[in-house]
Amino acid sequence: MRTMARISVVVGVLALLAAPIEAQWLLVPMDRAQQNHLRAYGLTYWTLEQQEKGEWLLNYRGGSFLLPDQPRIRREAALRGVSIEPMGAAAEARMRATIQGANMEAVPLERAPKVAIYTPPNSTPWDDAVTMALEYAGIEYETIWDDDVLDGDLSEYEWIHLHHEDFTGQYSKFFLTYSGAPWLQEEVARNQEVARSGGFADVPALKKHVARSIRTYVEEGGFLFAMCSATETLELALAAEEVDIAAAYSDGTPPNPNASARMNWARAMAFTDAQVQIAPSVNAFSDIDAHQVNTPWRQELGVYTLFDFSAKFDPVPAMLTQNHESVLPDFYGLTTSFRQDRLQSAAIVLAEGDVGAKYVHGSLGEGTWTYFGGHDPEDAEHQIGDPQTDLALHPNSPGYRLILNNVLFPAAKKQKLKT
């Protein structure tokens, strides 16, 4: 009987050792082992929507995510084509020891931020890189426009992206090439109607008011992200409190040649001392953009390089630059890059190109702003009417990853953010 008992114990122990150890976590690797980086952000966002918590492992394997091991999360990862690695207690302990002893940090992710895109009512998803990124990643968002800004409270959104808008009211100077295009005529009519219904003298006055509302949103704790012309023109609209730099388009009178001297840069968030381009025949807004893409002094594209930041002491810029690549191909937009001598001293340069800063970040009051130059990270010279970018062909795009870093940034536990 004793022999049989011993045999039973041995068999039981062997069975226990042979049984698969149940994982506690799912590691979502964000290095080159990940088969779909962009949808990995969507999986993480979806997990937070399910009232689950996660962690962002800054500088660990390309900025990986750690999610609870649950059947529904595994199923969702499989549906999205996202690579996951089950992690038991021993593997977790080794990982945390590595993070503690290196330039890495585990930042808790608490809840999915409410996202809005400021975009015209007739825009299509492929008009805007951020919209395409959210659509492909599977991240929910709402759309807002000028009348929503006038009627509502932006504070209900934790993260707002600005579609490539011209906040100076010059319609991106598209009159130079597309004056007879129906889409431009529709845009002009729509903006004029909103200005009239809001009681504004003209579209530039409307856009200045919207710009001020956006600035207040940031100051009161909002997270703002903008690309392309929205970056430069928002700042020009904020600084132009007493200057009509769009007069040639609003009432037919010549623009004021002293516009630059009268700009109030104390109201801007990122830039200072820029020279306004008042000539209607020159397709540029100011000298903020280092590339001047549609002018005779256009600069050629090269690459831009992400800077390294301490995950422990500078977690915010570290979050915004997480990637599996550090040197990326540059891409044009109406505003492609930013002259560093036009940046305010408190602005943080996150990435630098051959002729200017590409990606910048800063704080205002309780909130933050982040500007990314260019139009489409996977379309270097996008033109109006070009085919849309198919992100299914670019699931590991490092440029689009920078956009999605910003979407998850507000989910980070606030006391972990030291800058």
Is residue 185 located within the same domain as residue 287? yes
Is residue 93 located within the same domain as residue 146? no
65: which 2 tokens? Answer: 């995510």
Determine whether 418 is exposed, middle or buried from the number of CB atoms within 10 Å of its CB (0-12, 13-18, 19+). exposed
Return the C-alpha torsion angle 362, 207, 131, 357, nearest 10.
Answer: -40
Please give the tally of structural domains in the chain. Answer: 2
Is residue 31 located within the same domain as residue 161? no
Which domain-ending residue is among 109, 126, 148?
109
135: which 2 tokens? Answer: 């659509």
- CATH number of the CATH domain containing 269: 3.40.50.880
Is residue 335 located within the same domain as residue 389? yes
Is residue 91 located within the same domain as residue 147? no
CA angle 81-83-88, nearest 5°?
A: 140
Q: Is 273 left (phi over 0), alpha (psi -120 to 50) or beta?
A: left
**What is the DSSP pairing of strand 64-68 with strand 25-28?**
antiparallel
Distance CA(404)–CA(39), nearest Å, equals 10
Distance CA(275)–CA(236), nearest Å, equals 10
Where in the sequence is the domain holding 363, given as residue range(s)? 115-416
Dump strand ranges (E) for 119-273.
142-144, 159-162, 223-227
Distance CA(406)–CA(370), nearest Å, equals 8
Which domain-ending residue is among 48, 82, 109?
109
Distance CA(401)–CA(218), nearest Å, equals 23
Is residue 79 located within the same domain as residue 158? no
Q: How many other CB atoms are found less than 10 A from the CB of residue 111?
A: 14
Which domain-ending residue is among 80, 109, 138?
109
Is residue 229 located within the same domain as residue 324? yes
Is residue 309 located within the same domain as residue 345? yes
Per-position pLDDT tens, the chain of length 419: 444 444 444 443 343 334 344 579 999 999 999 999 999 999 999 999 999 999 999 999 999 999 999 999 999 999 999 999 999 999 999 999 999 999 999 999 999 999 999 998 877 666 899 999 999 999 999 999 999 999 887 999 999 999 888 999 888 777 667 677 787 788 888 889 999 999 999 999 999 999 999 999 999 999 999 999 999 999 999 998 777 766 544 444 445 555 666 789 999 999 999 998 877 778 888 999 999 998 999 999 999 999 999 999 999 999 999 999 999 999 999 999 999 999 999 999 999 999 999 999 999 999 999 999 999 999 988 777 778 899 999 999 999 999 999 999 999 965 444 44
Is residue 278 located within the same domain as residue 395? yes
373: which 2 tokens? Answer: 């130059």
Is residue 345 located within the same domain as residue 379? yes
Is residue 146 located within the same domain as residue 104? no
